[in-house]
Structure 1
Amino acid sequence: MGKRKEIAANARKEANKTVSFAKLNNVPTSPRKMRLVADMIRGQEAFRALGILKFSNKEAAARVEKLLKSAISNWEQKNEKKADEVTLYVKEIKVDSGAMLKRLRTAPQGRGYRIRKRSNHVTLVVDTLDNNKQN
């Protein structure tokens, strides 16, 4: 790794030490379906978002609920406080497309239809409302 990239990587690592986030990689659902769930909770208070996800009937909601619990736990570890004492909210939730498995399905008259089995990566950042006002 070159010196410039190393300096940039170290700066990024230092910035991540103050941010509480959780990542979920290679989720075998399409990014579009996951974004529908992500849009439901973006900007919401964390415990309200947990309620929304718990009672949502989408399959991706269970995965995002587990991810949100992990991000809250990460925040508690970094700040050495309980999440009940402060108001946490979903600062950022980002869904990126992941690897795509490409398959061929047989079709009539000697043809083949392409099947793209999509996956995605989800990054969820939680923060307190107090930190947002200070910045």
Structure 2
Amino acid sequence: MGARKKISADKRKEALKTKYFAKLNNVPTSPRKMRLVADMVRGMEVFKALGVLKFSSKEASARLEKLLRSAIANWEQKNERKAESGELYISEIYVDSAAMLKRLRPAPQGRGYRIRKRSNHVTLFVDTMSKNDNQI
């Protein structure tokens, strides 16, 4: 790795140390389906978002609920105290496309149709409400 690239990588790592997040890699759900659930909770207070995810009928909501609990636990560990109601909110959540499994399905007249089994990566950031209020 070149010196310039290493310096920028170190800056990125230092910036992530001040943020509270959780990542979920290689989820075997299409990114489009996961984004529907992510859009439901984006910007919400975390305990309200947990309730929404718990009672959502989508399959992706169970995975996202577990990820949100992990992000809350990461925040609690870094701050060495418990999260209180109304204190934390989901500041950022994004869903990126991951590796795609390509399969062939038999089709008429000796042809084969390509089946793409998609997967995704989800990154969820939580932040405190008071920290956000000071910036405005």
TM-score by length of 2: 0.96
Residue 84 of structure 2 is matched in structure 1 by 84
Instruction: Report the residue type matching 1:103 in the other structure.
Output: R
Q: Residues 32-111 of structure 1: matches in 2 within 5 Å?
A: 32-84=32-84, 87-111=87-111
- Secondary structure of residue in 2 paired with 1:83: coil
Alpha-carbon distance in structure 2 between the residues aligned to 1:78 and 1:18: 9
Q: Is the 8 Å Cα contact of residues 21 and 124 (structure 2) preserved in structure 1?
A: yes
Q: Give every structure 1 segment of 4 or more consecutive aligned residues whose post-TM-superposition deviation is greater than 3 Å.
A: none
1:8 maps to: 8
State how many pairs are aligned. 135
Tell me, yes or no, if the aligned pair for 2:45 and 2:86 is still in contact at 8 Å: no
- CA–CA distance in 1 between the matches of 2:37 and 2:27? 13
Distance 1:82 1:131, change over 3 A: same
SS at match of 2:121: strand
| CA displacement at 1:134 relative to structure 2 | 2.5
Unaligned runs of 5+ in 2: none
- What is the percent sequence identity of the aligned residues? 74
In the alignment, does 2:28 pair up with 1:18? no
Give the C-alpha shift of residue 81 in structure 1.
Answer: 1.7
Cα shift readout 1:11-62 (whole Å, capped 9, x = no counterpart):
1111111100000000000000000000000000000000000000000000
Distance 2:51 2:86 in 1: 17
**SS of residue in 2 equivalent to 1:10:** helix
Q: Give ranges in structure 1 of 5+ residues lacking alignment.
A: none
Indicate conservation of the 8 Å contact 2:104/2:112, yes or no. yes
CA offset digits 1:78-102 (Å, max 9, x no partner): 1112102661000000000000001
Tell me by how many angstroms 1:64 deviates.
0.2
